Structure 1
Amino acid sequence: MKKLTTLAALVGALLLTNCSKDKPSTGNQSTTPATLTDRVLTENLTLPWEILWGPDNQLWITERSGKISRIDPATGRATALLTISEVVSRGEGGLLGMVLHPDFATTPEVFVAYNYLNGNNYLKKVVKYTFRNNALSNPVTLINNIPANNTHNGTRLAISPDRKLYITSGDAADASRAQDKNSLAGKIQRINLDGTIPGDNSIAGSTLWSFGHRNPQGLVFVGDRLYSSEHGNATDDEVNIIEKGRNFGWPNVEGYCNTANEQTFCGANNVAQPIQAWTPTIAPSGIDYYNNNAIPQWKNSLLLAVLKDSELLQLQLNAAGTGVEKVNAFLKGKYGRMRDVAISPEGKVYIITSNGNNDKVIEVSGK
């Protein structure tokens, strides 16, 4: 029995090195020389979704029930700011993405995205709050009526260097929506910070920036380049570089354009291929970019929180940032499902778990 278990583990490890059906991965699963220290900073959270390092040197988090809190990274103490009563949490839905205004000291605005009900319709909206006197107030709806479901909501937010808000939306469990440019589902949207539509969007008068997405749960800018992580179906979880107007293939393409039907569709529809994909799937969620000397082995890397495989992945980028050179796994199975990751200016990494019971904030630093 022991030999069979060992063989199964070896086969599983070999499968993880393969990427997207029969195409070799652009990155190799390997061990790393990085030595880390990890500890539990905060406990007793319930399904947190977002974690951010704020300009106030606090960690900001959302929980799917509708709660927004700040956590002191020195003590781990959580202080609740607001519970949004309109939030309706169903399945994987609820209060999800959050981002702070880049000029927070002078423009203390907080952008959140959550699911709600309009009659019997389960939908998503993005709302801007103002932060004053340690409280959030003055909600302003920027965009609403985005299709939602118990699954495939996407919903990560990011603000570009030119002050545009990007919103990931899953296909809301209806794959046909992803290729429908008139649907808000299965898209990455782009709006101004006041909710208006930029004049240079992919389609005039539309919030659409890219389409053909299944369930993108990670989003981060590195300079003006936008990376996203996305859940595949039975195969081909992905990391993509998001480009204006590009089709990312779902449901006609999964991962790379490497079957006859996919190649035909890709050629006819200007499909962008991922820079990394995984088969078997790993369930990738939040990502952030690490470029700090505190953990030098992680410089110029995307850090990816993984749910199904319960680990933190380091995706070492090439010098141009256009490809993945290697993939290293950390903390596998130690804390359970990992939902999102944030990085402090001094190079500490903070991870939130998504186990549904006594969820935690984990602090990781170089040793």
Structure 2
Amino acid sequence: MRKWIAAAIFALGIFCFINCKKNSTTTPPIEPGDATLTDVVLTQNLNFPWEILWGPDNMLWITERGGKISRVNPADGSVTPVITISEVVSNGEGGLLGMVLHPDFATTPEVFVAYNYNKAGVYTKKIVKFTYNGTTLINPVVLLDNIPASNIHNGTRLAISPDKKLFITSGDASVSSRAQDKTNPAGKIQRINLDGSIPADNPVAGSSLWTFGHRNPQGLVFVGDRLYSSEHGQSTDDEINIIQKNRNFGWPNIEGFCNTSSEQTFCAANNVAEPIFAWSPTIAPSGIDYYNNDAIPQWKNSLLLAVLKDSELLQLKLNAAGDKVEVVNTFYKGTYGRMRDVAISPQGVVYIITSNGGGADKIIKVSKE
């Protein structure tokens, strides 16, 4: 009898272990009408890719921090180098970072990139516009220069608004006081015209400043004319923000919400915008994109967020107004390592780049079965 009871307890333990492990994931169960997802490795042997985007030429465009820009065929994963920018200097998390293509690329084949380099011995970031000639990038034009850089906290995502303004995120470049200094371009989101000139309706005449008080914003995406950003906190309060003209996003005085007495005082006096969502402890959020395709119906009206420290893809389901995160679902946690950025094709296929280093980075393709 004792042996029978012991065997039954052992069997029950095995059953519980298997099912508890199965149910420990935050990946939601498939509901009626949901698409079943499949994930495959499209491309391998990349080295610290930073940006991935879907080009109007129906190719994926990527940057790697060492200075390389490539086009990737989404059908077979083959990589075609476009250019290696020799001026790029990759220190720590710095190097060749954000990239965006002109919205009228077929008639105006311009490529906007942001990278770090040594300027008279000072590590610096600049924004450069190139022309794509069908093979490589030519005719570099510097649009913005003298942005402080560091081996950490460079931010550096680019996005173009529907009215064709270029938005640039910049971290505090490891000096937190810069974020509240409106005369310093670090710790800011900047806005310029596509020719590098300053829009007349920017908050400060003659300045590229759009918002300030940022620590390290590494995600940026327009949904219509609304701009969302993801931002790294220090030890608490990673954030999702809606970027609003001339608002202060608080760093280093505020972390996350205005929820202590000292923070409430600062927020009231300094026009601080609170995040729409925050994580404590931190997860290290990076690139984001917006999903609203019928291919994966359960992801419609969601931000998809690549996460570094927690090595996962997050679905942030928005409410109908788009100003709140209603549901957070986790996918591929620990499967592919650190995730850096996300791109979405017009057909609703999702592409994720990893950030593990050592030439082992990949592009992951996620689609319905």
What TM-score, normalized by structure 2, do the two folds share?
0.91
CA distance in 2, matches of 1:353, 1:30: 19
2:28 maps to 31
Higher mean alpha-carbon deviation, 126-135 vs 210-219, is at 126-135
CA distance in 2, matches of 1:32, 1:188: 38
CA distance in 1, matches of 2:121, 2:283: 33
Preserved CA contact (<8 Å) 2:236 2:255 = yes
1:211 maps onto 2:212 in alignment: yes
Letter paired with 1:363: K
Letter paired with 2:279: W
Letter paired with 2:79: A
1:321 maps to 322
CA distance in 2, matches of 1:221, 1:232: 22
1:144 maps onto 2:141 in alignment: no
Preserved CA contact (<8 Å) 2:191 2:202 = yes
Matches within 5 A, 1:58-207: 58-207=59-208
1:362 maps to 364
1:350 maps to 351
Residue ranges of structure 1 left out of the alignment (5+ in a row): 17-28
* CA RMSD in angstroms, aligned pairs only: 1.6
CA distance in 2, matches of 1:348, 1:363: 7
Structure with larger RCO (C-alpha < 8 A, sep 6+): 1
Shift of the alpha carbon at 1:318?
Answer: 0.4
Letter paired with 1:354: S
Matched pairs, number: 345
1:226 maps to 227
Preserved CA contact (<8 Å) 2:190 2:209 = yes
CA distance in 1, matches of 2:268, 2:257: 12
Preserved CA contact (<8 Å) 1:32 1:328 = no
CA deviations 1:217-267 (Å, max 9, x no partner) are 000000000000000000000000000000000000000000111011001
Shift of the alpha carbon at 1:202?
Answer: 1.1
Relative to structure 1, is the Cα distance of residues 193 and 311 closer, same or farther in structure 2, using a 3 angstrom cutoff? same
Identity level (%): 74
CA distance in 2, matches of 1:185, 1:30: 37
Shift of the alpha carbon at 1:134?
Answer: 1.6
CA distance in 2, matches of 1:227, 1:200: 20
CA deviations 1:269-304 (Å, max 9, x no partner) are 110000010001000000000000000000000000
CA distance in 2, matches of 1:285, 1:228: 9
Preserved CA contact (<8 Å) 2:92 2:151 = yes
Letter paired with 2:313: L
Letter paired with 1:356: G
2:9 maps to none
Shift of the alpha carbon at 1:30?
Answer: 6.8
CA distance in 1, matches of 2:27, 2:304: 15
1:285 maps onto 2:295 in alignment: no
CA distance in 2, matches of 1:30, 1:320: 25
CA deviations 1:77-113 (Å, max 9, x no partner) are 0000000000000000000000000000000000000
Preserved CA contact (<8 Å) 1:30 1:327 = no
Relative to structure 1, is the Cα distance of residues 153 and 32 closer, same or farther in structure 2, using a 3 angstrom cutoff? farther
CA distance in 2, matches of 1:251, 1:350: 33
Larger radius of gyration: 2
CA distance in 2, matches of 1:36, 1:356: 27
Letter paired with 1:366: K
Superposed structure 1 runs of 4+ greater than 3 Å apart: none
Give 3-state SS (helix, strand or coil) of 1:165's partner.
strand
Give 3-state SS (helix, strand or coil) of 1:112's partner.
strand
CA distance in 2, matches of 1:45, 1:304: 20
Shift of the alpha carbon at 1:133?
Answer: 2.7
Preserved CA contact (<8 Å) 1:247 1:270 = yes
CA deviations 1:125-145 (Å, max 9, x no partner) are 000000113211000000000
CA distance in 2, matches of 1:215, 1:316: 23
CA deviations 1:161-192 (Å, max 9, x no partner) are 00000000000000000000000000000000
CA deviations 1:28-60 (Å, max 9, x no partner) are x77253531000000000000000000000000
Give 3-state SS (helix, strand or coil) of 2:268's partner.
helix
CA distance in 1, matches of 2:133, 2:274: 43
Residue ranges of structure 2 left out of the alignment (5+ in a row): 1-12
Preserved CA contact (<8 Å) 2:299 2:315 = yes
Preserved CA contact (<8 Å) 2:67 2:96 = yes
CA distance in 2, matches of 1:311, 1:239: 16
CA distance in 1, matches of 2:241, 2:111: 26
